[in-house]
Every structure is written in C-alpha cells, then in structure tokens.
Chains A and B, each alone.
Chain A
Amino acid sequence: MNRLTRILLALAFAALLATGAAQVNLKVFIGGQQRPDVIGPLLDKFNAENPDIHATFEVGGATSDVQQQYLSTVLTSKSSAIDVMLIDVVRPAQYAASGWAEPLDSYFASADAEKTYLASFLPGPINADTVNGKLYAIPAFTDAQFLYYRKDLLDKYGFQPPKTWAELESQALTIMKGENNPNLQGFNYQGAAIEGTNCTFLEALWTAGGNWRDANGNITVDTPAGKQALDWYDQTLSSGITIPNIAEVATDTSRKMFQSGDVVFMLNWGYAWAHFQDDADSAVKGDVGVAPLPAFEGNASATCVGGWQWAMNPYSAHKQDAFKLMRFLANEDSQRTLAVKASNIPARKSLYKDPAVLEAAPQYADFYDVIINARPRPVTPLYPDVSDLIRTTMNAFFARSMTADQALQKMQTGLQDILSQ
C-alpha cells in the first residue's frame, strides 16, 4: 500500500465518520431468499429521500426456520443491532408474546389514521399481524397456496377447473387414462415433514368446513371434518392420482415435477408461477392455469396465507426513524417494485389493478380471488410446537405408518398437550 492510498483511505474514513455522526444508521434484516438485489436499491432510494437517515441491510439464512434461529438469538440478548426485520406470516403471535416486536399503534397519528392506512391492505395479512387487538407488523408481501392446473390438458378433455375435490379426482382419472403416460400424476401436493405440509392438512380441513380449534378454544381436529380431510388424502393414494412416495415430496420437488410436465393438478405457492413461465427447462410454458382450491361438496374454498411482514425490534435505538422506513418499504411504490422485480405478491389491494404490475405479472388478476380467501395458520405463540406436531404426524400418515384415525387422534391429543402448557 503506497502512501497516497493510505492518505486517501484515511480521508475516506474521516469523511465516513463525519457523515456517520450526523446520520441515524438503521439496519434491516432480510432472508437470503428475499431478493437482496431488489431490497438494496429500495433502501438506496429511501436514503436519498431521507438524507439524515442511512439504512443498510443484513442478509441471513435461506429458510424461515434458519432466519428465526438467528433472530431469536439477537432478540433474546436484547440487541439493538437490528432495527427492522422481515418475518414470516406465522410469527407475529410468538413475537407479540415474547416482546420481540414493537406494537405499532402508537406510531400512527391517530386511531383513524391507522384504520385508513390498514384498510388499503388485504385483510388476511393484516389479521395475521394483529395480535389481541394490537398491530405488531406491516405486511411486506403476501402469498397463498393455489391450485395449479394444466390448462392444455383440461381444455383437451373439455373440463373447467374443478370446484370440488371429487371433481378433481374424476378429472384427474380421466386425463391419466386418456393420456396413457405412466409418468403422469393426477394430483401433487406436499407430504414431507416441512412447513408447507401443515397447509396440506389445514386446507383439506378448512374445505371440509372444519378448523383446528373452535371459538371456545377447544381443539377440533379429531372430528368428522378432520376425518373427511384425511380420508380424501387416503383416497388420492388408493385411486392412484397421487404418487405413492408423496411423503418424500417437498415444495420445490412438487414444483419441479409439475414443471417437467408430469402433473395435472398441484397445490403450491405463488413463486412457482414465475418458474413455469420463465425457466428454460419448463415444459409447461403457457399451459398453466391457477384456480382457487376445490372444496368438499357444500363447503367454501379456502387456502393458507403466506408472505412476509416488516416488524420493528423493540430494542431499537431509533424507533421513529425505523417506523418511517417500515412505512416506506410497505408503500405502494415499494410493493410495486417487489411485485415487478421479485415476483412478490402485493399485500396492497390497489396493486391488483395496477397496469405496471399486471403487465409484468398478469396472473395476479387470477391470484386475487384466491388470496382474498386465504386464512392464517394457527395463531398462537406456541406455533413452532404446533407446526412440528402437525407436519411430522402428516408425514407419518403419508408414509402409511399411521392410519387416518391414528393421525387425527395424535394431532388432537398433541395439540391439547401443547396448548395446555
């Protein structure tokens, strides 16, 4: 290092210190899968608009679970190193109970201002972010499970997207028989012991008119609705519309199978769409349709809400500035950028009619009907335990080491144990 570079470095460092002293530094935490390449320019824009604040981001962990482990450590040690964090839609209840997220209501000018502000968002994410009447996070983007179907195959056999599970089964059987392709699967979903498998269970339960818990707080899994749900999955395996090794299938395995053209119907999240249309190896480009999930006869369609939320570290040293940043990141422009550049499904209603968004992602017009009906997974501070129980039991059920009745009984008593702690 020659003398000149040293002097320059020293000068640069001094300049950094001088500007740093006058500025408020904010740190945003996001996960590896959340497109740092799109969030970065958003923060640059915010910094340009707010010269007295300097926001930077930190990336950690590629899955929701890994990110949560890191955030748990940071928040348990009451660290102020992070100001704003992006958290999964299943977390706000746990964060509220643990004191890991700042209640945001007092940051709005008035209760009416808050109400107006929140009214522009979809109801599903707002419900998930509200715990005991207090707002703990602002939706960044949303997601849901959709019924993906092969438009070309349904057209060929003259079918409309199925409204009931029975209809899905008969369509799948007809198409499988007609195509005479031994690799063709009628119906694919997730059965591995992963977070998405909770949705596999809940969606069947909801579309049978049931829920995991009734209004009085009693666990209602081992019920006729639960039985109808698991009997349906038994049926998918015995009729052969679903592959027998569904217990091995995780979210992206499903997506790849559908993408290679081997699946007629599939349950999956919004991210799969962009892969089908854009990936070079996609065999189903332009042949994919999206519909609300079928239901059992006489019941309404339902699906799992997904997505991510901006929450504030209660130990942050700059809460007012952090709130300003959160509102910026959740505003219409930012969500439009996320929708267009990162395929993140907007959490704001207006963007579903936005020409720029619809040009980049015309499927969002179809998504809206599904997303508006999306329901939250169990809202409880003990969700990690609940999730672990449901996914491993369902995985054992799909691996045929537990019957429908055994699985229901196990989830029923297990949930009672967890929630009576």
Chain B
Amino acid sequence: MARTVPTLPYRKPGFWRRLRTGNLSDGQLAVLLLLPALLTLAAVMLYPMLTVLWQSLHFNRLNQPFRGTPFIGLDNFRRMLWGDGLQWNASHLLWLRLVGLAALAPLAWAVRRRWLSRFAGVVLALALVLVFGYLLGFHPGAGGRWTDSRFWNSFSITMLIIVASVAGSFLVGLPLALLANVESRLRWLGRVALLLPWAMPRVFAGLTFAWLFQSQYGVINDVLRRIGLDGPLWLARVGPAIAAVNITIVWKTSSFVGLILLAGLQSIDASLYEAAVVDGANAWQRFWRITLPLLRPSIAVALIFRTLTAIQTFDIPFAMTRGGPGRSLETLGVYIYNSTLALNIGYAAALSVVLFLISLAITIFYLRWIYTE
C-alpha cells in the first residue's frame, strides 16, 4: 500500500503581507498607487456625471414639487429635439428622401472614385443635410411652438459661434503671434498685449464690452459718430448683438491662439529660413512653405482647445445680453443655466447630456484627424 505523502499546499502570502514585504506584482502595485486618484476622480467627476445622466431621465422641477419626480425615460430628450408641436407629415419625409437621394448618392460615388477624400465627403454630406434640411422646412423646431424651437435655436447659435469665433480667433491670433515673434526690441510689447486679454476673466471682458457696445453712451458708437457714421443699436438688435458677442469672444480668445502659435513658431529651426533665403524664396513663399506646415501641430492643439471652449460658450453672451435680444444669443450653455435657474432640473440635466455628447463627438473627430494625418 503506497503511502500517500501529505503535501502541504503552497500558500501564497496574504495581500497585506506581500504589501509589507514589497512582493506585490507590478499590476497590483499600479492599481494600489492609482487608487486614491481614481477614487477622488470617481467622487468628483464620475458620481456627478452619473447623477446628471440619471436626473436626465426624470421629470424634476424643484418649484413644482406637487408634480413629483417620476421616471420618464427619454421624454426630456424627445421634448428637446422634437417638442410637442412637430407634425411628422408625409411632405417632410418626402423632401428628406429626395434630398438624401439627390445629393448624398453622387457624393458617395465621388468618394468611392477617390475624387474626394473620405473626410471631405463626410463634411460635405453633413453640410448638405443641415442646409437642405433647414431650407426645406425639415427643422424639428419649426411650427412656431415655444417648447420645440428653443433647443434648435440655441443649437444653431452655438454652432454659429463655434464657426465664427474659432475662425476669427485664428485670423487675429496668427498675425499677433507672427508679430510677437519678430526680432525687435519692442516685441515684449506685443507679448504683453498677447497676455493681457488672456489673463482677464471672461465675465469681466463681457461686462466691459457690453459697456463699449452700449448704443447710446458706448465708446464704439461714440467713435463712429465722430467719424460721421451712425452705429447700429448693438445689443438691442439681433444681428448686431451676434456680431458684438463674436467680436468680444475673438478679442478674448485670439490671444490664447496667439500664445500657442507663438510657442510653435519659436520651435521652428531658423536655418530652414536661411536655406530658403539662399534658394531665393520670398517672404510669402517662406510663410506658406515653411511656417504654416511646421505650425500644424500647434494649430491643431489651439483648434481643439478653442472649439471645445466655444461649444461651452456661456460667460460672454450671458454677461453681455443675458442671451438676448429675445433668445437670439441663448447658447446651449446659457440655455442649461436658464433651465437650471428655472429649477427645471431634469430638463437641464438632459441638455447637459446633449452638450456632453456634442463635445465628445467633436473631440473624437479631432483626435482621429490628428492621428491619421
């Protein structure tokens, strides 16, 4: 009879023992060291985000407690995007199909034949859907009903501010950066001028410019009057108010763009310019062929940060006109603020979720663009 030898099973030392003796695996140690930061992040970021997500599925108006806080699924989102007044009649859908067939099919074909890059194809398709959808009345907020159009109004003004103010801040920021990069004794002046608007809190900038744009006793109209022009009623008319807010945003943000581009400019090797001069390139050619291509990474960084802050535009339009005249400058940020202060917590949460999704989409879009090209 064979004797069974009792084998002691191998006991791995306990977690705390390994911790004390320094025998944790790399993975365990990493988790352990990251844990405090992760827990903090979870408490201050993840928990509020999940709360907002949960709130967005509820009806919750703090000033109407008599209606309770029932779970309503996606109703806040339905209300936001389509409202109660939209007629989904056949003509809308017919037009949508026609536009889709008429414009999107040739686009897809062009991309397939490689006449267009895939990127350009996607952008053009999106633009077509937006423009034609709007023109043909396929506008989910149409119909003049209050609850519907408010979201689409704030969506479009936000998009307008993104396009106008980001483009504007590059048009102003790049020359500023070039100016501050010129070898000259006075360039410190340019650099201070670059820093000052950037250092100013946005609300202050908004309030200051609201005074400058005041149509009766504002400085801007006073200057215009002195040179014999009749300035517009800046903040009391829709068009001028949108222009005024965009000008203010450009003033405030082009210095940020300028600073980032200046850093990029300084990293460009001077010998490249020297070589170009030897080869007989003029200043314009040097700018197009050397400066701009080598600035690309800086431009990308500035573009991402500017776009992301432009999506969340709140301070300047709020400080200048409180989102008015009417609701013409009620950006998504202002709309969320107004809904929260109207104590409509569920709806404001739903709006925040949508803003988050838009930011996420744009970030992913940019990141892919940077990594592929």
Interface residues in chain A, defined as those with a beta carbon under 8 Å from any beta carbon in chain B = 65, 68-69, 72-73, 76, 94, 97-100, 192-193, 243-248, 381-382, 384-385, 388-389, 392-393, 395-402, 406, 409-410, 413-414, 417-418
Q: Which residues of A contact B341 (CB under 8 A)?
A: 65, 69
Q: Which residues of B contact A395 (CB under 8 A)?
A: 324-326
Pairwise interchain contact A192-B324, C-beta atoms closer than 8 A: yes
Q: Which residues of A contact B236 (CB under 8 A)?
A: 244-248, 398-399
Pairwise interchain contact B233-A244, C-beta atoms closer than 8 A: yes
Q: Identify which of residues 212-267 in chain B touch chain A, using a CB-to-CB cut-off of 8 Å.
A: 214-216, 233, 235-238, 241
Given contacts A72-B343, A245-B236, A417-B147, contact A98 B65 (CB under 8 A): yes
Pairwise interchain contact B324-A413, C-beta atoms closer than 8 A: no
Bound Cα distance from A73 to B63, whole angstroms: 9
Q: Does B191 contact A (CB under 8 A)?
A: no
Contacts A414-B145, A417-B145, A417-B146 known; list 12 others, CB within 8 Å.
A68-B63, A69-B341, A73-B62, A192-B324, A245-B235, A395-B326, A396-B325, A401-B325, A401-B328, A413-B85, A413-B145, A413-B146
What are 28 A-to-B residue pairs whose CB atoms are below 8 Å? A68-B63, A72-B62, A72-B63, A98-B64, A98-B65, A99-B66, A244-B233, A245-B216, A245-B235, A247-B324, A248-B233, A248-B235, A382-B64, A384-B342, A392-B326, A392-B327, A393-B326, A396-B238, A396-B327, A399-B325, A399-B326, A400-B237, A401-B325, A413-B144, A413-B146, A414-B145, A414-B146, A417-B84
CB distance from B25 to the nearest CB of A (A): 48
Bound Cα distance from A399 to B63, whole angstroms: 30
Given contacts A388-B342, A400-B237, contact A193 B322 (CB under 8 A): yes
Q: Which residue of B lies closest to A397 (CB)?
A: B326
CB distance from B127 to the nearest CB of A (A): 26
Pairwise interchain contact B324-A399, C-beta atoms closer than 8 A: yes
CB distance from B322 to the nearest CB of A (A): 6
Bound Cα distance from A385 to B216, whole angstroms: 32
Q: Which residue of A lies closest to B215 (CB)?
A: A245
Pairwise interchain contact A245-B63, C-beta atoms closer than 8 A: no
Q: Which of A65, A401, A406 contacts B237 (CB 8 A)?
A: A401
Pairwise interchain contact B324-A193, C-beta atoms closer than 8 A: yes
Interface residues in chain B, defined as those with a beta carbon under 8 Å from any beta carbon in chain A = 62-66, 84-85, 144-147, 214-216, 233, 235-238, 241, 322-328, 338, 341-343
Pairwise interchain contact B147-A98, C-beta atoms closer than 8 A: no
Bound Cα distance from A392 to B216, whole angstroms: 22
Given contacts A72-B63, A97-B66, A399-B238, contact A243 B146 (CB under 8 A): no
Q: Which of B62, B84, B326 contacts A402 (CB 8 A)?
A: B326
Pairwise interchain contact A381-B235, C-beta atoms closer than 8 A: no
Bound Cα distance from A381 to B145, whole angstroms: 22
CB-based closest 6 A-B pairs: A396-B326, A399-B325, A414-B146, A245-B236, A247-B236, A401-B238
Q: Which residue of B lies closest to A95 (CB)?
A: B63
CB distance from B217 to the nearest CB of A (A): 11
Q: Which residues of A contact B328 (CB under 8 A)?
A: 396, 399, 401
CB distance from B301 to the nearest CB of A (A): 38
Main secondary structure of the interface of B (DSSP, over half): loop
Bound Cα distance from A334 to B12, whole angstroms: 81
CB distance from B306 to the nearest CB of A (A): 29
Bound Cα distance from A414 to B145, whole angstroms: 7
CB distance from A27 to the nearest CB of B (A): 21
Q: Which residues of B contact A418 (CB under 8 A)?
A: 146
Q: Which residue of A lies closest to B214 (CB)?
A: A248
Q: Which residues of B contact A94 (CB under 8 A)?
A: 63-64
CB distance from B315 to the nearest CB of A (A): 18
Q: Which residues of A contact B322 (CB under 8 A)?
A: 193
Pairwise interchain contact B63-A384, C-beta atoms closer than 8 A: yes
Pairwise interchain contact A401-B326, C-beta atoms closer than 8 A: yes
Pairwise interchain contact A409-B144, C-beta atoms closer than 8 A: yes
Given contacts A247-B236, A248-B215, A417-B145, contact A98 B66 (CB under 8 A): yes
Q: Which of A382, A388, A392, A406 contacts B324 (CB 8 A)?
A: A392
Q: Which residue of A lies closest to B343 (CB)?
A: A72
Q: Which residues of A contact B233 (CB under 8 A)?
A: 244-245, 247-248
Q: Which residues of B contact A397 (CB under 8 A)?
A: 326
CB distance from B23 to the nearest CB of A (A): 51
Bound Cα distance from A397 to B66, whole angstroms: 34
Q: Which residues of B contact A413 (CB under 8 A)?
A: 85, 144-146
Bound Cα distance from A401 to B327, whole angstroms: 10
Given contacts A392-B324, A399-B236, A399-B325, contact A76 B65 (CB under 8 A): yes
Q: Which residues of B contact A68 (CB under 8 A)?
A: 63
Q: Which of A65, A244, A410 contacts B146 (CB 8 A)?
A: A410
Q: Which residues of B contact A401 (CB under 8 A)?
A: 237-238, 325-326, 328
Q: Which residue of A lies closest to B325 (CB)?
A: A399
Q: Which residues of A contact B327 (CB under 8 A)?
A: 392, 396
Q: Which residues of A contact B216 (CB under 8 A)?
A: 243, 245
Given contacts A248-B236, A399-B236, contact A385 B342 (CB under 8 A): yes
Pairwise interchain contact A247-B325, C-beta atoms closer than 8 A: yes
Residue in B63, B64, B323, B341 with the greatest tally of chain A CB atoms within 10 Å: B63
Pairwise interchain contact A98-B63, C-beta atoms closer than 8 A: yes
Given contacts A76-B65, A245-B216, A247-B325, contact A69 B147 (CB under 8 A): no
Bound Cα distance from A393 to B238, whole angstroms: 13
Pairwise interchain contact B146-A389, C-beta atoms closer than 8 A: yes
Bound Cα distance from A334 to B255, whole angstroms: 57
Q: Which residue of B lies closest to A382 (CB)?
A: B64
Q: Which residues of B contact A410 (CB under 8 A)?
A: 144, 146
Bound Cα distance from A97 to B216, whole angstroms: 44
Q: Which residue of A lies closest to B341 (CB)?
A: A69
Bound Cα distance from A69 to B344, whole angstroms: 12
Q: Which residues of B contact A385 (CB under 8 A)?
A: 342
Bound Cα distance from A65 to B342, whole angstroms: 9
Q: Which of B65, B144, B237, B326 contacts A99 (CB 8 A)?
A: B65
Bound Cα distance from A69 to B345, whole angstroms: 12
Q: Which residue of B lies closest to A401 (CB)?
A: B238
Pairwise interchain contact A399-B65, C-beta atoms closer than 8 A: no
Q: Which residues of A contact B237 (CB under 8 A)?
A: 247, 399-401
Q: Which residues of A contact B145 (CB under 8 A)?
A: 413-414, 417
Q: Which residue of B lies closest to A411 (CB)?
A: B146
Bound Cα distance from A321 to B342, whole angstroms: 33
Q: Which residues of A contact B323 (CB under 8 A)?
A: 193
Q: Which residues of B contact A98 (CB under 8 A)?
A: 63-66
Q: Which residues of B contact A400 (CB under 8 A)?
A: 237
CB distance from A175 to the nearest CB of B (A): 20
